[in-house]
Amino acid sequence: MSNKLYVGNLSFQMQEDALKDAFASHGSVVSAKIITDRETGRSKGFGFVEMENEEQAQAAIDGLNGQEVDGRSLRVSVAREQQRGGGGRNRY
């Protein structure tokens, strides 16, 4: 298991400090990042939180998955590695 978590169904008003605070009660938060649209800067409604270790990450999943924060039911799971698409140009 990884200590990096995917956090979905975030309120569009959620700030990174508030996200970090929500997870801090389950362990030490290394980083918290809300993903935003490049052009508008608006939240895409999901983000990533990195906990100090796997035990704290599991505690955060157990404690926050399905919990309501800012009127939204959070989806918290282990983050998957980003897959690189195969449709790009060949580079020589």
| Residue 87, pLDDT score | 55
User: Do the domain assignments include residue 87?
Assistant: no
pTM of the model: 0.86
- Residue 60 belongs to a domain with what CATH number? 3.30.70.330
Q: Which domain holds residue 25?
A: 4-78
Which tens digits make up the pLDDT trace of 7-32?
A: 999 999 999 999 999 999 999 999 99
User: Do the domain assignments include residue 33?
Assistant: yes
What is the domain count for the chain? 1
Which tens digits make up the pLDDT trace of 31-80?
A: 999 999 999 999 999 999 999 999 999 999 999 999 999 999 999 999 99
Q: Which long-range contacts (CB under 8 A, 24 or more apart) does 82-89 make?
A: none
Cα 19 from Cα 10, distance rounded (Å): 9
| CA 82 vs CA 1, 6, 37, 65: distances in Å | 15, 12, 18, 21
